[in-house]
Amino acid sequence: MRAEWPSGRFGDRPYNGAVTFDRAPIVLYGRPGCDLCAEASAMLDALLADRAARGLPAPSVAARSIDGDDELQRRYLLAIPVVAVGGRELELVTSRAKLRRFLSEALDGGAGAVAAAPAASAGTARA
């Protein structure tokens, strides 16, 4: 079964930074038709549901398309899907384990902060 990018998350009300949240919202950068983006969205949903069930912070997700925005395309075209939380970014989200660790470190202040890495590396995180 092929995962699809959730249309309701895309372009309807992208996060613009003007809203205040208890925890930084999660922004998922991608584009419609991107299979990896759809898979990252499904992983993110499952991990956040698990976090909520365990009583851990599980902020809302704002999906943001890089299409039609030259700056976002320049920044993320070769890195999507990208998950951003509180100034940290995880590029090329393809590993559930890496995404779980990233969310834990970004949302819970877990030990061993994600180290900055070159943007060309798969699954890299930037602080």
Residue range 38-50, pLDDT digits in tens: 999 999 999 999 9
44-52 contacts: CB < 8 A, separation 24 or more?
A: 44/83, 44/93, 44/99, 46/96, 47/96, 47/99, 47/100, 47/103, 48/103, 51/103, 51/107
Cα–Cα nearest to 47, from 80, 89, 12, 93: 93
Q: What is the mean pLDDT of each run of 10 residues along the chain (127 residues)?
A: 46 38 76 96 96 94 95 97 95 96 91 39 50
Cα–Cα nearest to 41, from 20, 64, 57: 64
pLDDT at 109: 86
Topology given in CATH for the domain delimited by 23-126:
Glutaredoxin (3.40.30)
| Token reading at 89 | 């970014």
Query: With a threshold of 0.75, does the pTM exceed it?
Result: no
* Distance between CA atoms of residues 78 and 51, nearest Å: 29
Burial degree of 75 (CB within 10 A; 0-12, 13-18, 19+): middle
